Amino acid sequence: MTPQDASRETEKLCRMAPVIPVLVIDDVAHALPLARALVEGGLPVLEVTLRTPAALAAIAEMATVEGGVVGAGTLLTPKDVEAAKNAGARFGVSPGATDRLLDACEEADLPLLPGAATASEAMALLERGYSVQKFFPAEANGGAKALKAIGAPIPQVRFCPTGGVTLGNAGDYLGLSNVLCVGGSWVAPKDMLEAGDWAGITALAAEAAGLR
């Protein structure tokens, strides 16, 4: 897969809904009902971060949910890429980008949303062919104002900002011409997961799906 092909695929995913849930799953038993709740609420594209021992098994479970598109976040190494692809991930997300990671995703035909935090990083990815990128960490990096400023001289790049994005500030990002969607964890709060409040999560997803 070429970087250009990867960006075409990630752009399609980013345009499916204004918010991509960023999910940290500790209990595999939560995977299926969580995915169903989010998809039912109008958020079909799901990012499961590889931050817990349950993550890969959760991806495998969630990949079976009709209407959902499940990817793996926090890809750091070629081994992560291989494991994510084997688990059924249909796309990948990384906090930054290295040549080894980009090579691995391209060789595995796994569309990657690579992370960039500066104009130079965004330019380097664009030079390789990645025109759709993750802006991370968004709030710590200056928020919507910073992303607007970075994007002004690089209009070829579209972003999915994540990191500190909430219901309260998501609109600031979504109002930018260089933003396709945002990534956020607020649609699946830990207390609701532990309580099994799937109806509540569906309601949060529906609220997020209505953003623009």
Distance (Å, whole) CA 167 – CA 185: 10
Does 107 qualify as catalytic in the annotation?
Answer: no
HSE value, Cβ hemisphere, 13 Å, CA-based, for 202: 10
Looking at 47, 61, 85, 106, which residue is catalytic? 47
Report DSSP letters for 34-53, one per residue: HHHHHHHTT--EEEEETTST
Distance (Å, whole) CA 161 – CA 139: 9
Does 47 qualify as catalytic in the annotation?
Answer: yes
Looking at 61, 85, 106, 134, which residue is catalytic? 134
Contact present, 84 and 56 (Cβ < 8 Å): yes
Helix extents (H) in the chain: 3-14, 31-40, 55-62, 78-87, 99-108, 119-128, 143-151, 170-174, 190-195, 198-209
Positions annotated as catalytic residues are 47, 134
